[in-house]
Structure 1
Amino acid sequence: MTDVALITGTSSGMGLFTAVELAKRGLQVVATLRDTGRSDRLRAAAAAAGVDLDIRALDVVDHAAAAELVDAVTRDHGHIDLLINNAGQGNVGTAELLPMSQIRSQLEVNYLAPVNLTKLVLPGMRERGRGRILTVTSVGGAVGQPFADAYCGAKFAVEGFMQSLAVVAERFGVQVGVIEPAAVASEFVANVERPSDAGPYTPLLAAYIARSTGAFANAQSAESAAVAIADAATAQDFRFRTQTSPSATAFVSTSLADADGERVLGFTRPWIG
């Protein structure tokens, strides 16, 4: 029986290449994106790889639409064996600059949407006694960073949710984990929300943007990150936490071994000058 994978956020970047990579490995991939009118690159990449994808529309923040999609995929393919919550949104801004609407938006896309889809696929996986749920978070899900208050807050939240769920879900044969990329060359940066006027924070934000620009200039390729995601999705030896590159592993380790929090603060202070 062919495993069925449902992936969100596949119009570009890691999502696009992960969908194609999993299809190359023999999975039936249901690739979702908010606007199927933007699926040309996805279709071209699938054609170039000689694989077929089931491409469907999904705005992940529309929970009713997500429920309808899961029902339709289950009806059409019989089951969902793998969920990859890949859709995400970035945000730059510190607390005083952030309108509550942007903070809520970060929670909707980066936290509540993956939680909702996880809840939707869990019953079927539990009943079959097998399944795997992976959420693409970020090194920002383990390391709080300047001017990423809302983004890191949402990513921390989803990692906490998934880590709490993992030990319960595994009792029913369902494996839950997170994928933590560092900087990845994609359209993610172009889509980041950012303040038009940083006021007294302007020089600090400028230093942070300059540092981030350098990081993304040497970013991991989306293709390479997708291979790491596909490896985690198909691995025999499953782990809750997976980074997509050695630099991501080193970065996350800074926080996970930081009992009092000072290691991370000392690491990130120079980012803002």
Structure 2
Amino acid sequence: MSERTVLITGTSTGIGLEVAVGCARAGWRTVATMRDVSRAARLRAAVEAADVADLVDVRQLDVVDQASVTAAVADVVDRYGRLDAVVNNAGAGHLGTLEQEGVDAVRAVMEVNFFGVLRASRGRLVTVSSVGGVIGQPFNEAYCAAKFAVEGFMESLTPVAATVGVTVSVVEPGAVASEFVANVGIDRDAAVADAGAYGPGLRAYLRRTAGAFAAAQSAADAAAVVVDAVTGATPPPRLQTSAQARQFVGTKLADLDGTAVTTTTGAWIA
């Protein structure tokens, strides 16, 4: 088959689902993966509605299971003869790989399973990160630390991958209207009560965050940036999905001593 092929992780909802639909609309053979394919109904309905179901191949892939990744990628290449792009959208799962299997295992997954085939097609690796991968945010220490690690990993990898013809990019959404926040699963009142001396600050932060997500970008709009990074002209190493995200990230990139960022984020919890 001659279609260019993209493999996308985390496609059951939100940005990943919209990226799968968008890539298929662009004419790409789209391998849409998720850990639990019993949750594929929403994706299947979306690709049917978009009249691209014939281009979408829904598969099981658990990104914290190296054997699962190896088998899935090998099967894709065997069936379609090529792999032109990979979209790492299931960020939490990939970070779980770092935690559970160590850096050597992650390197093996990336090198053996992705770069071997991406080199052959001079392909693209696109990772969905977050503005939280650039700016540390109150009460998000662990999340932001994980996203910082992803950004550092990919930024370091970019020039190395370029020597063998592979393009690496990270995409940084801000607030997106998806199930991501709901999936965090916290009881806000209980969290504030348990925060002790930090309770007032946490309450202020949750109020501010609720306001930000009330005006959140749609998952489809955020996904359009990812789709363009896969299917369009060669993307830069870093992309934001909205003007608000660009402005926010720009604060950090111009902030040599860190005071602009901490003044901004400090005001969220004052």
CA-CA distance at 1:62 after TM superposition: 1.6
Whether 1:220 and 2:221 are equivalent positions in the alignment is: no
Cα distance change, pair 89–123 in 1 and its aligned pair in 2 (3 A): closer
Name the SS of the counterpart of 2:169 in structure 1: strand
CA distance in 2, matches of 1:249, 1:4: 29
Match of 1:12 in 2: 13
Structure 1 runs, 4 residues or longer, greater than 4 Å off: 104-109, 111-117, 193-196
Could you say which residue in structure 2 is the equivalent of 1:62? Answer: 65
Secondary structure at 2:11's aligned position in 1?
coil
Report what 1:123 is aligned to: 116
> How many matched pairs?
258
Structure 1 residue 194 displacement after superposition: 4.4
Structure 1 unaligned blocks of 5 or more: 91-103
Secondary structure of 2:19 counterpart? helix
List aligned pairs for 1:213-252, cutoff 5 A: 213-252=210-249
Moved more, 46-55 or 198-207: 198-207
CA distance in 1, matches of 2:57, 2:258: 45
- Structure 1 residues 223 and 71: CA distance shift in structure 2, 3 A: same
1:49 partner letter: A
Whether contact under 8 Å (2:9, 2:32) holds in the other structure is: yes
Picking from 83, 91, 96, the partner of 1:80 is 83
Query: Partner of 1:24 in structure 2?
Result: 25
Give the whole-Å Cα distance in 1 for the aligned partners of 2:24 and 2:134. Answer: 30
After superposition, give the CA deviation of every residue in 1:163-191 in whole Å (9 maximum; x if it has no partner): 11110111111000100000000000011
The equivalent of 1:158 in structure 2 is: 150
Amino acid at match of 2:28: L
State which drifts further: 171-180 or 55-64.
Answer: 55-64
2:136 counterpart residue number: 144
Report the AA paired with residue 177 of structure 1: S
Written as runs of structure 1 = structure 2, the 5 A alignment for 1:25-40 is 25-40=26-41
Normalization by structure 2: what TM-score? 0.89
The 1-side partners of 2:251 and 2:44 are apart by 39
Pick the structure with more helix per residue.
Answer: 2
Instruction: Measure how far apart 1:235 and its partner are.
Output: 2.2
Task: Give the drift of 1:58.
Answer: 1.6
In structure 2, relative to structure 1, the CA distance for the partners of 1:46 and 1:114 (3 Å cut) is farther
Aligned twin of 1:271: 268
- Say if 1:241 and 1:115 are closer, same or farther in 2 by CA, change over 3 A: farther
Cα distance change on mapping 1:47 and 1:116 into 2, 3 Å: farther
Distance 2:96 2:233 in 1: 36
Match of 1:56, SS state, is strand
C-alpha separation between the residues in 2 aligned to 1:125 and 1:260? 39
| Structure 1 match to 2:255 | 258
CA RMSD in angstroms comes to 2.2
- Paired residues for 1:194-213 under 5 Å: 194=186, 196=191, 197-213=194-210
Deviation, structure 1 residue 238: 2.0
Q: Is residue 89–residue 188 contact of structure 1 (8 Å, CA) maintained in 2?
A: no
Report Cα offsets for 1:106-155 as digits up to 9, x if no partner: 9549x9798665332101222x2501000000000111110110111011
Counterparts in 2 of 1:44-55, with a 5 A limit?
A: 44-52=45-53, 53-55=56-58
Structural mapping, 1:173-184, within 5 Å: 173-184=165-176
